Amino acid sequence: MIYLDNAATTKPCAEAIQAAVSCMEKCYGNPSSLHNMGIESEKVIASVKKTILRRLNKEGEIYFTSGATESNNLAVFGAAKALKRRGNRIVTTAIEHPSVSEPMKKLAEEGFEVVSLKPCDYDNFEDALINAVDEKTILLSFMAVNNETGFITDSKKVYNAVKKRFPSCTVHLDGVQGFCKTQLFADLISLSAHKIYGIKGVGALYKAKPVRLLPNVYGGGQQGGMRSGTEPVELIAAFGAAVNAYPEKITKFSELRHTLLQHLEQWEGIILNSKNSVDNIVNFSVQGVRSEIMLHFLEEKGIYVSSGSACSRGKISPVLSALGVSDKNADSAVRVSFSLNNTENDIKELVLALSEGIKRFRR
């Protein structure tokens, strides 16, 4: 079995599994409890917060959530509602994950002015984002690395320019695909454990201390009232272990990407959709073969990749459309995403299977 769908999720690393199991066996107290078992659980949470802040190279607050979807919702809704007395203008992009784009639609229905930019409309997307922000803008929300194509937006350039001109504008970054791979700059940063070899069910939101934010979940007042609910200590422990285990520098991804592209560039009818992208995500269209057909053919060979074309309702990917990919090419898109566990031989096996699939199905 060759797993090349790591932008969707990763296999938990041994360190994360060990941390979770150890915590479930030895440190299972409720972190809100006043006795020693509760105190030990709270220490685990505090330690992981420091680990994440250290990896982000920031000072501020870390709030644990059920995953990146909740983190994005907390950031978007929490910031918009906290700042609505000052204004109602929000700037975002047309290539966001649904956990950002859907909350934006809801805010628009509630009367917020939501401006959504398409990268394909601009030669320099970072400049377009910067210039879209004005004195009435209360929130700028964008992703560091796109989950479908790996498209990179320079968060440092955008953040520094926006805060210099309009320091009261809150900047939110979906950092899910970029965390541990690139530096992230924003007032609010959404993170996910299972994209970096942690365990599903836990994410986090970084918040710079001066930033105003209102909670989405109310209850027992855990995490300073920002996110009520008993914290899943074992998942948080695994999150911290995964962060610690993630290498500071990785050359494998660029090597795997180079091997794959060497072959793809030799074939006719292959369109690369991943431009200005991270090394671990390669999105390309196989003209003449629908992505769903190719995906299931590869699955029969024991190779797991993703389709970049369709959502659950069978529509063309809005992200690819916003990046200027034609509907025809989007309908034949394939996303390959590497992990630290993949090898050169995995890519060679993928290339052989792709070649066979093209010969069999291309029309």
Q: Which residues are catalytically annotated?
A: 311
Give the burial class of 250: count Cβ atoms within 10 A of its Cβ; 0-12 exposed, 13-18 middle, 19 or more buried: middle
Instruction: Of 95, 312, 55, 78, give the one whose Cα is nearest residue 191.
Output: 55
Instruction: Of 307, 48, 338, 46, give the one whose Cα is nearest residue 193.
Output: 48
Q: Where are the beta strands (DSSP E) in the chain?
A: 2-3, 61-65, 89-93, 113-117, 137-143, 170-174, 188-192, 203-207, 270-272, 281-286, 303-304, 306-307, 333-337
Instruction: Of 13, 10, 9, give the one whose Cα is nearest residue 241.
Output: 13
Cα separation, 327 vs 310, whole angstroms: 11
Cα separation, 115 vs 357, whole angstroms: 41
Cα separation, 262 vs 53, whole angstroms: 38
The DSSP letter of residue 37 is H
